A and B are shown apart, each in its own frame.
Chain A
Amino acid sequence: QVQLQQSGAELARPGASVKLSCKASGYTFTSYWMQWVKQRPGQGLEWIGAIYPGDGDTRYTQKFKGKATLTADKSSSTAYMQLSSLASEDSAVYYCARVTTDYWGQGTTLTVSS
């Protein structure tokens, strides 16, 4: 069965970077775009971008260009999202999901605090 297993909660300092992971199983990782979604407390969902693991092609919402970097490791069927220059407004739950939205990870909570 398809599963997307995300890495655990993170606590990071302002100005630092963090790399979140999403390990896929149960399907051909290289055949589906993977998207990343942000949700701040009490807010709606925000589309960050997506990556096609087959060739590394990426798409980003303009707002997250320079903030988020999406990569994928075909050998381990794992997608990654690096967030840089962290600030308090980056504190949120981050989800990975196939762009078909039929499968979602459980979410990773990122807290940015000094």
Chain B
Amino acid sequence: DIQMTQSPSSLSASLGERVSLTCRASQDIGSSLNWLQQEPDGTIKRLIYATSSLDSGVPKRFSGSRSGSDYSLTISSLESEDFVDYHCLQYASSPYTFGGGTKLEIK
């Protein structure tokens, strides 16, 4: 199975700050990675698909990129509603696998 190592597991940041979250894949997954956002009530929403494509309605401060086996979600300027949980998911091969998640907290 492909392992996805997500870092950091938690991140404390300030409003307006630029942050990046990373998922490292244990095997080649090409561009088959999505980023998900989870609200405190459990609601899950996709932000980025296929590594770098922004979902409709998602603010442009969110972006996705890849460098080798490292996949990043960058938020260019944090707003209050961004302080929730984030997950990556690889779908290159079954079984699909998630990263461990990142909890973004306000400093």
Binds A, one of B11-19, B39-47, B65-73, B74-82: B39-47
Q: What is the bound-complex CA distance between A107 and B43, given in angstroms?
A: 8
Proximity string of chain B (65-107) to chain A, C-beta cutoff 8 Å, 1 when within and 0 when not: 0000000000000000000000101010011111111000000
Which of A45, A49, A50 has the most chain B CB within a 10 Å cutoff? Answer: A45
A50 / chain B contacts, CB cutoff of 8 Å: 94, 96
Chain A nearest CB, measured from B49 CB (Å): 7
A59 CB to closest chain B CB (Å) equals 4
Most buried by B among A47, A61, A95: A47
* Residue from the list A44, A49, A107 in contact with B95, Cβ < 8 A: A49
Q: Is the CB of A102 within 8 A of B97?
A: no
Question: Can you list 29 A-B pairs with a CB-CB distance of less than 8 A?
Answer: A35-B96, A37-B98, A44-B98, A44-B99, A44-B101, A45-B38, A45-B87, A45-B98, A45-B101, A46-B98, A47-B97, A47-B98, A49-B95, A50-B94, A50-B96, A59-B94, A61-B95, A62-B1, A62-B95, A95-B44, A97-B44, A99-B91, A99-B96, A100-B49, A102-B55, A104-B43, A104-B45, A106-B43, A107-B42
Which residues from chain A sit less than 8 Å from chain B, CB to CB? 35, 37, 39, 43-47, 49-50, 59-62, 93, 95, 97, 99-102, 104, 106-107
